[in-house]
């Protein structure tokens, strides 16, 4: 009998290390890694290309429903067949994605697609509402956090941007994520809280891997 897919949900604010840790965990567990932020970035990129107003919730939902977003391996992102892996990391696209992700219809469209993927494969899925909305019954839920100054410093090292500017952007992103009407960023009651402020990302990864192995059947790794 086929084994039921295992869902590992990692939520948390920008710069906490979710993507790096989730990608590494997926490799070690043999699971599929899903960067939900990349999905919102892809919708934002398409909206920008076709000049859709980022305040037009109905048009944004239509784009999100029509978009063919594929994630290959653990990092390659395709939008309607085009490799947009590099394009969606542009600072302007990141800012647009932050706005697009507040649209309820877009979140619902992405949620449906994320659930479809999770029904087919064991996944490590990271985002902001995975354990609370997308997979409230996930096998493992992690809320990964860190001090805002540490998060800004990490993002500045990653992007080469000014740390002060990054700190302001993160503060604005946190505010939007935590106060939006649809699926705000919050820790699920049954999620394990992991604070990576005083940890290296490798140490945080080991801490989360230990939790995953303790909570999944017999601590054994599963195939995707």
Average pLDDT, the chain: 90
The residue whose two tokens read 């805002």 is: 148
Q: Rounded distance, CA 152 to CA 146, Å?
A: 10
* pLDDT value of residue 180: 84
Q: What CA–CA distance (Å, rounded) separates 146 from 15?
A: 8
Residue 103 pLDDT greater than 60, yes or no: yes
* CA distances from residue 140 to 49, 190, 192, 214 in whole angstroms, order as listed: 37, 9, 8, 10
* Whole-number pLDDT of residue 2: 55
In the chain, what's the furthest Cα-to-Cα distance? 54
Query: Is the pLDDT reported for residue 223 higher than 50?
Result: no
List domains and CATH numbers for the chain: 1-31+122-215 (3.40.50.300), 33-120 (3.40.50.300)
CA distance 113 to 66: 11
* Mean pLDDT computed over 83-103: 92
Work out the average pLDDT over 111-119.
Answer: 92
The whole-number average pLDDT for the span 198-209 is 95
Does the pLDDT value for residue 222 go beyond 70? Answer: no
Tell me: the pLDDT tens digits for 77-86? 999 999 999 9
Strands (E), 25-106: 32-35, 69-72, 76-79, 82-83
Q: What is the DSSP letter of 5?
A: P
- Could you read off the pLDDT of 136-192 as tens digits, one per residue? 999 999 999 999 999 999 888 888 888 898 899 899 888 988 988 888 899 999 999
Does residue 221 surpass a pLDDT of 50?
no
In the numeric block, the tokens 């029509």 are attached to: 66
Q: What is the pLDDT of residue 187?
A: 96
At 217, is the pLDDT very low, low, confident or very high (cuts 50, 70, 90)?
Answer: low
pTM across the whole model: 0.85
């Amino acid at each position: 009998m086929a084994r039921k897919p295992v869902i590992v949900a990692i939520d948390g604010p920008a710069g906490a290390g979710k993507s790096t840790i989730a990608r590494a965990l997926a490799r070690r567990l043999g699971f599929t890694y899903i960067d939900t932020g990349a999905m919102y970035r892809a919708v934002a990129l398409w909206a920008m290309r076709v000049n859709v107003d980022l305040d037009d919730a109905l048009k944004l939902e239509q784009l999100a429903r029509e978009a063919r977003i594929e994630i290959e391996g653990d990092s390659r992102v395709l939008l309607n067949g085009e490799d947009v892996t590099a394009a969606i990391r542009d600072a302007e696209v990141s800012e647009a994605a932050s706005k697009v992700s507040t649209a309820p219809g877009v979140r619902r469209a992405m949620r449906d697609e994320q659930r479809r993927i999770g029904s087919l494969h064991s996944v490590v899925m990271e985002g902001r509402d995975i354990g609370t909305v997308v997979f409230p019954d996930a096998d493992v839920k992690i809320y990964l956090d860190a001090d805002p100054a540490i998060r800004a410093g990490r993002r500045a090292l990653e992007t080469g941007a000014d740390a002060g500017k990054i700190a302001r952007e993160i503060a604005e992103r946190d505010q939007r994520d935590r106060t939006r009407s649809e699926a705000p960023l919050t820790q699920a009651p049954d999620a394990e809280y992991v604070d990576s402020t005083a940890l290296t990302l490798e140490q945080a990864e080991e801490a989360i891997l230990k939790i995953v192995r303790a909570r999944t059947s017999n601590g054994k790794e599963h195939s995707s």
